Structure 1
Amino acid sequence: MYDLDKRLFVGVKISTKLQNELDHCARDTERYFKEDKVEYLQVVTLGEERLIGRFLQDGFPVNDIDNVSRNIRSIVQLVAPRYRVEDSSIQIYADCTVRSVRES
């Protein structure tokens, strides 16, 4: 479990359409969200919602937020090419406990 005590997570809510794309992605792209590596995306739960995105480290530079947003969009497009990630769908989540789906 990720014990986040106020860590930030930047990500997209996983809709039914996006979940379907993730479930049927090319085998060679699964690593981008199924492996537990910092450079890849994480699938986590937040209450009843599932999110895909990445954690920000303490002291993350504010001016690099755009890079994180572009990176998330790029990886989701690579894994789920028929799913369009809207700019407004990438959000920052904080002050909550986010659990790794692998441990749910």
Structure 2
Amino acid sequence: SSLKGFMLLVPSASSVHTAPIYEESRKAAEKIHASLLQISGIKSLGIRVRDDMTGFNWSKVPVIIFEAGYMSNPEEDVLLSTQDYREKLVEALVTGIADYFLTK
């Protein structure tokens, strides 16, 4: 209940299945991360590399999992339930994704 913040999960560079998509996944995550940090008061738990996500292993294109926060944290649960905050998250995601494609 004390854990708070968003995180982005990307596939591992060390897995034979995900090595080909790691670099682009990481670049996209960095753009999205930078955009999310523009939201006032948001806390980041960073970009985390995972090698245990089955969905990553099947992907042939860059892939990211966005974890918006912790509903087990009472303060963040309230925040995540507001339309205003969710809209800020979506706007930041769209901006980050657009930034990624504009710099390719």
Which TM-score band applies after superposition, normalised by the shorter structure?
0.3 to 0.5
Q: Greater relative contact order: 1 or 2 (C-alpha under 8 angstroms, separation 6 or more)?
A: 1
Choose between structure 1 and 2: higher strand proportion.
Answer: 1
Q: Taking structure 1 as the reference length, what is the TM-score of the superposition?
A: 0.35
State the structure with more CA Rg. 2
